[in-house]
Chains A and B, each alone.
Chain A
Amino acid sequence: MTTEITAEISPPAADADAVLADLTGMLLTLLEEYGLDAAEIGRETTFHGDLELESIDLVTLSGALRERYGDRVNFADFIADLELDEIIELTIGQLVDHVVASLRATERS
């Protein structure tokens, strides 16, 4: 009989700075061709106006979020609940807060 050893893999930290760093990395990959600088991305940065992301870019970002956080963060549901105007005005900080809240909710459960 073998003893199962389960490795303790630390989940992505539910802290805003770590999440912001994660998101910045994803956006740099997504916008690689534009030669964006990490310093240009902060909480107030808007996806649409500042980064000029199109909705199809948000689909790609959604895939990256799923890869990083699994089912605990549902970006499509988050976007689905917003009005078009709110999506256009969406900031990195709002998404960071949503991710942090989602991760904390699953930590508690």
Chain B
Amino acid sequence: MAMIPTGAITTHAQTLPARTRPDEGGEPPVVVFVHGLLTDSLASYYFTLGPAFAAAGIDVVMYDLRGHGRSERPRGGYHIEAFVDDLVGLLDGLDERRPVHVVGNSFGGSIAAGLAAWHPERVATVAMIEAEPPVALWTRHMADGLSDAKRQLAREEAIGWIAAHHGAHTARLSRGASRILQTTTLAEDIPASRVIDDDLSGLTCPVLAIFGDESGLAAQVPDFEAKLPRCRTVVLPEQGHSVLVERTDETRELLLGWVREHSLAGAER
């Protein structure tokens, strides 16, 4: 377990080196996985995509977001720009100078897009799974969802209802989510985050966006395709928001293909 100082906090990271090296002696590509909000941690990748990517000859970086997993949980400072700064601090701490392929799930995808917009020199490509880029509309979606979650999960009977309808496992995750919401300013900070322009002109690198057709987020597809010059969108049929958990194999193959395609092109990006 590596605890890495990343500016104001200490971040828990796990790395898996590529198991094979490129034949011509160059460096392997590097992928950074960014997990989602509240009920999530790097474990979502550690036991799923991480080992497969390392086996495919890709250096893998996984880490816990501030407030999550084994990373530090400060009381405040949960604007998206703080999460992006943590990620830059992590790459610096790991002495990672290669432009990274950054893969983000849900809120992690918003961080990935933020990194690409505000630190384009650090990013080779962005892959967003069921995510929105951090535009003004996104802050409103987050404001609604987070204030609702903070209020509802504080009620013990709500946790009881979740236990009865979704099982003890989900109830425990909900309790953990509630702890973050009640002990930090996350629910207030994220809606007050820095945003990128609505025209998405800040995103200049290639972008892969994967959605489930039953989640509302797939409605962004026409917008992405109109605004992003180098964009690929994939919509998985009969699938809600939990793409990474429920469609792990398809997601892995899409992402592996994406990274391979964009690392064969070499440094010319």
Residues of A at the B interface (CB closer than 8 Å) are 48-49, 52, 54-56, 58-60, 62-63, 74, 76-77, 79-80, 84, 88
Contact partner of A63 (CB less than 8 A), chosen from B1, B64, B69, B169, is B1
Chain A residues with CB under 8 Å of B51's CB are 74, 76-77, 80
Q: Check A80–B48 contact: CB distance below 8 A.
A: yes
Q: How many pairs, one residue from A and one from B, have CB atoms within 8 Å of each other in the complex? A: 46
A88 to B, closest residue via Cβ: B169
The A interface is mostly helix, strand or loop, or mixed, namely: helix
Point out the residues of chain B lying under 8 angstroms from A48, CB to CB: 169
Interface string of B243-265 (1 = CB under 8 A from A): 00100000000000000000000
With known contacts A48-B169, A88-B169, A58–B245 Cβ distance under 8 A: no
Residue B14, interface by CB 8 Å: yes
A48 to B43, CA, bound (A): 14
The tally of residues in B whose CB lies under 8 Å from a CB in A reads 20
Proximity bits, B1-29, A CB within 8 Å = 1, else 0: 10000000000001000000000000000
Chain B residues lying within 8 Å of A88, measured Cβ to Cβ, are 169
Using A54-B176, A56-B64, A60-B1 as known contacts, say yes or no to A80 and B47 having CB atoms under 8 A apart. yes
Fill in one digit per residue for B38-53: 1 if any A CB lies within 8 Å of its CB, else 0: 0001111011101110
